[in-house]
Amino acid sequence: MQLQKRGQRGFALLSVLLAVAIIAFLTYYFYFSGNSGIFTGISNGGQQNGPLKIPGVKNLDMSSRGLDAFPDEAKLLGGLQDLNLSNNRIAGLTTDIGRFTDLVTLNLSGNKLAGSLPAETGQLQKLRVLDVSDNDMTGIPAEIGQLNSLEELNYSGNNLNMMPNEIENLNNLKKLNLSGNKYREFPSEFWQIPNLEELDISNNGLTILPDDIGKMKNLKTLNISGNGISPENAEKIKSLLPNTDIIY
């Protein structure tokens, strides 16, 4: 029995040491050598270029590294739960983002992302927090509605003026930040998000909000400042949402 326990502890220690060694290897090559794609062709379980599930590697912080593209090395690390690529110069994502099916948090803020996220983003079924603030995004993919676990979504500081109808399917969404965009109106489906608690739509081009906003019964905080909403419309919103803290 003691030998068995020692063997298990030894295996666990070996796994940790292996993970540390691989991370150190990746760090050296990526940060100091400037190499890219050095692992192309590595197989994982017989699948060419498949992501490696390294025991103990759950978080990867590559923020503020001057990256101008999604790092090839990161694509090898399957099993990641938290990925931080904020404050770089990344201009776009490829369909490879759909590989990270264990992701819980994805931070892409402060980059140069344009257009829309790939449709494969909808494959991240465990994702709870998605931050793409302070980019140059002009669209939100319809597949965003497939993120059933999503609780926080931040698209502030972009160039958005359209909203996919599928947004209403985000049943677990609690916080939504759309401030600093170019919205003038939202589709009726937008007001159907069932469990939203915090909504920031400040600093857009809104001039009036519809009565449908009264359907957001769970709203605790609503920020509509920095728009062209009239005092009369603001008062009506307050009457429709009497239990909501409204910042006007």
Quick: pLDDT tens for 39-69.
222 223 333 344 445 556 799 999 999 999 9
Is 42 within a domain?
no
Consecutive 10-residue averages of pLDDT for the chain (248 residues): 47 45 48 34 34 68 94 79 97 93 97 97 98 98 98 98 98 98 97 97 98 97 97 96 96
Is 7 within a domain?
no
Is 17 within a domain?
no
Domain interval for residue 192: 51-247
**What is the model's pLDDT at position 71?**
84
Is 18 within a domain?
no
**What is the model's pLDDT at position 74?**
76
Is 46 within a domain?
no
Whole-angstrom distance, CA of residue 191 vs CA of residue 130: 20
**What is the model's pLDDT at position 23?**
54
pTM: 0.80
**What is the model's pLDDT at position 54?**
56
What one-letter code names the amino acid at 163? M
Is 12 within a domain?
no
239 exposed, middle or buried (CB, 10 Å; 0-12, 13-18, 19+)?
A: exposed
Total number of domains constituting the chain:
1
The CA–CA distances, whole Å, from 102 to 80, 95, 111, 237 equal 6, 16, 23, 39
Annotate 138-152 with b (16+ C-beta within 10 A) or e (fewer).
bbbbebbbbbeebbb
Q: What CATH number does the domain containing 135 carry?
A: 3.80.10.10
**What is the model's pLDDT at position 157?**
98
**What is the model's pLDDT at position 57?**
79
Is 235 within a domain?
yes
Q: 3-state DSSP call for residue 176? A: strand
**What is the model's pLDDT at position 162?**
97
Is 139 within a domain?
yes
